[in-house]
Structure 1
Amino acid sequence: MAAAVATSRLAAHQVIKVFIVDDHPIVRQGLRQLISQQEDLIVCGEAEGMSQAMQLFFETKPHVMLVDISLENGNGIELVKELIAHDRGLNILVCSMHDEALYAERALRAGAKGYINKDEATDRLIEAVRRVASGQIFLSDEMTHRFLSRQVGKGEVAPPGPMESLSDRELEVFEQIGHGMKTRQIAERLHLSPKTVETYRENIKRKLNLANSVELTQHAVQWVLENT
């Protein structure tokens, strides 16, 4: 159904309108230049965070939203959920430096059509944008193999690790802890109550088998250094 909606949208527009959401101005500039070089693609808008992205989304009506995970005032996975809640047929491609093995499935569950790492070659990014614009799914060959192997129950697929047991919100809180934020700061950034953040912290410690807040902070800082 979503693919049909996407196709019908593009039938009336030969040029694919792309909206970029990334909290780094230099990255947005690079993506804008790359996309603008393609005859069938055009950048219709850009934003650095969730609130700005939601506001401009309704004004620009893009065919594809290109969304990073870490944003100026929020999280890309939560933005995907919010966008899909307003438009289930929207085509979203998550483009991030974060580990695809940890985030790709979360992005698809949230409603995105694909995930691509920023380390990929530029031609792969353009391919991903075009494929997602047509309503198709885009993942790396490795992630596609993992999904197919899991579906058919064959092949050597690594079992989920402790990090994969975290919910989207728990992972988001965990990352903020790794950036040195305290409970109240995290609550303000994520628009949650301090009590809710404390609940997430306790859940994270339990799932990752961490004894106390000191271990939680150390583990989170190390994870951020290795993955962001």
Structure 2
Amino acid sequence: MKILLIEDHKMVATSLKMSLETDESISVDIVNNARDLSINESIFNYDLLLIDINLTGIEGTINGLDVAEELINKYEDLKIVILTAYKLDFYIKRAKRIGCKGFISKEEETSKLIEDIKSIALKGKVIFPEENHMLEPLTQSEIHIVKLYSNGLSRKELAKALNTNVRSLAVSLSRIYQKLGVRNYQEMIDKVRELGYVDSF
């Protein structure tokens, strides 16, 4: 089974390739820059395309879902799976809508990852995670807030670090809690770790 992996981080791509190729039936080719991808019928040499969501190119960050949509619009029979650390409803729903066949976490155990990929490529299954009931992804500034907050800062310390006041910070946190569907600090920390916004430790 031939897989094309579109992943901009070379070390991550190489690690994924090595993990997948522990199954002798799998061969993986890598494209590190989405702009180098040739969108023509040679793409059908692959049984499956694995595409990361955040792809960095010469012109800045490229949304892997945009790449997937362009490919599917031209070749609707392609089997494309989104491979990412972000388990967001916003992304999952779009991946379903544009015709992707799966949405898989990079944190999956190798055996489970191989099992899911084979099920999609060879058995025609469609695999998506359960929705997290998150309305929309956090903005970059909101991600910055939760990363600082997860380090154990008090609200006063966090406001100072962000060069704002506690009242403005409370408004921002309220919006973040609403997006994440949580009610308190600990629920927020658990959720942002689950969704891949901050590292688990």
TM-score (norm 2): 0.62
Matched, 1:136 2:125: yes
| Aligned-partner Cα distance in 2 for 1:92–1:81 | 10
Contact 2:65 2:95 in 1 (8 A): yes
Q: CA deviation at 1:40?
A: 1.7
Greater helix share, structure number: 1
- Secondary structure in 2 aligned to 1:98? coil
Distance 1:37 1:161, change over 3 A: closer
Match of 1:103 in 2: 91
Distance 1:90 1:177, change over 3 A: farther
Q: CA deviation at 1:102?
A: 3.3
Matched, 1:32 2:17: yes
Match of 1:18 in 2: 3
Distance 1:111 1:176, change over 3 A: farther
Q: CA deviation at 1:87?
A: 1.1
Q: CA deviation at 1:51?
A: 1.6
Q: CA deviation at 1:98?
A: 0.7
- Secondary structure in 1 aligned to 2:8? coil
Aligned mate of 1:55, from 24, 35, 38: 38
| Aligned-partner Cα distance in 2 for 1:103–1:23 | 19
Contact 1:100 1:116 in 2 (8 A): no
Amino acid across the alignment from 2:51: V
Gaps of 5+ in 2: 145-171, 177-191
Matched, 1:81 2:66: no
Aligned residues: 151
Q: CA deviation at 1:92?
A: 0.8
Amino acid across the alignment from 1:33: M
| Aligned-partner Cα distance in 2 for 1:130–1:84 | 20
| Aligned-partner Cα distance in 2 for 1:116–1:72 | 20
| Aligned-partner Cα distance in 1 for 2:55–2:127 | 22
Aligned mate of 1:112, from 97, 100, 112: 100
| Aligned-partner Cα distance in 2 for 1:56–1:41 | 22
Structure 1 stretch displaced more, 21-30 or 131-140: 131-140
- Secondary structure in 2 aligned to 1:55? coil
Gaps of 5+ in 1: 1-15, 147-157, 164-170, 181-214, 220-224
| Aligned-partner Cα distance in 2 for 1:175–1:59 | 37
Q: CA deviation at 1:58?
A: 4.6
Contact 2:49 2:81 in 1 (8 A): yes
Cα deviation digits, residues 174-208 of structure 1 (max 9, x gap): 8577799xxxxxxxxxxxxxxxxxxxxxxxxxxxx
Query: Percent identity among equivalent residues?
Result: 24
TM-score (norm 1): 0.55
